[in-house]
Amino acid sequence: MNKLTVLVVVLASGLAASMPAGAVYNANVTGKVMMVITYADADYIYFSLDNQPTGLPCAAGYFAIPSSVPQNRRNQAFAQLLAAKETGTPLNIGYDSQGQCVEGGVQAHRVG
């Protein structure tokens, strides 16, 4: 197992454990990270994949990691997203395909 794989497993387990109780994780998609966006006045993270799911109830073209996720876990996911974008390594994203939208995006429950 290479170092990136180990990092992915560790970060994914931390992010998945931090999701709100009402959130529903029912789908996965694997793809390359195309964009990662943050704002200076907000605590959420937006990102998209090269094969972003379509036809979702919230009609967003991006995923969101909500501000309700503790900062250390958002930082871990952010680092993982940037590393994957830089290296072109595909990531598997767990999300809610039935409409759990946060911060205007499809809620990401798992990054890994």
Give the separation between CA 18 and CA 36, rounded to whole angstroms: 20
How sure is the predictor about 62, in pLDDT bands with cuts at 50, 70 and 90? Answer: very high
In this structure, are residues 105 and 62 in contact, taking their beta carbons and an 8 Å threshold?
Answer: yes
Quick one: CATH architecture of 3-111? Beta Barrel (2.40)
pLDDT tens-digit series, residues 71-100:
999 999 999 999 999 999 999 999 988 877
Number of neighbouring beta carbons within 10 Å of residue 13: 13
3-state secondary structure of 77: helix
pLDDT at 27 over 70: yes
- Tokens representing 18 are 């931090």
Break the chain into its structural domains and give their ranges.
3-111
Helix (H, G, I), strand (E, B) or coil at 66: coil
pLDDT at residue 7 is higher than 70: no
What's the angle, vertex CA 33, arms to CA 110 and CA 61, rounded to 5? 80
